[in-house]
Structure 1
Amino acid sequence: MIKVVRGNPTPEELAAALAVVRARAAATAAAGTGGAPLPPESWSDPSRIARSTRPRPGPRSWARTYWPL
């Protein structure tokens, strides 16, 4: 269902918008799933952004964290 929220489109504009939506839906249906989408708990997980791990600090790294005044 398409609902016009603002403006006053002409019948030709509505027909063009509907044609685009129907063509997109048909292309998506014809392409199939392609791959399983990630479940919501996976794609919203912030840790997936940083997939690689950071290098571990060295044995004397604690000494470099202090900055004298």
Structure 2
Amino acid sequence: MTIKVVRGNPTPEELAAALAVVRARAAAAAALPSGAPVPRDSWADPARIAGHRVPRPGPTAWARTYWPS
């Protein structure tokens, strides 16, 4: 496995941390039995945002576009 730093000047500790994450993800993917469905990343799951209330147009709608209720 080769990792190339394209920008910046990471410290050896930062490179070690990044490599540990990449290797852990690769090991977890390799541990799945063949043919098993790949677990979906929670950030990509549409159900994550389905329960949120969408602001309706009105005089106070701008105030609800950022702050959760």
Q: Provide TM-score, normalisation by structure 2.
A: 0.48
TM-score normalised to the size of structure 1? 0.48
* Structure with more contact order per residue of length (Cα contacts < 8 Å, sep ≥ 6): 2
Q: Which has the larger radius of gyration?
A: 1
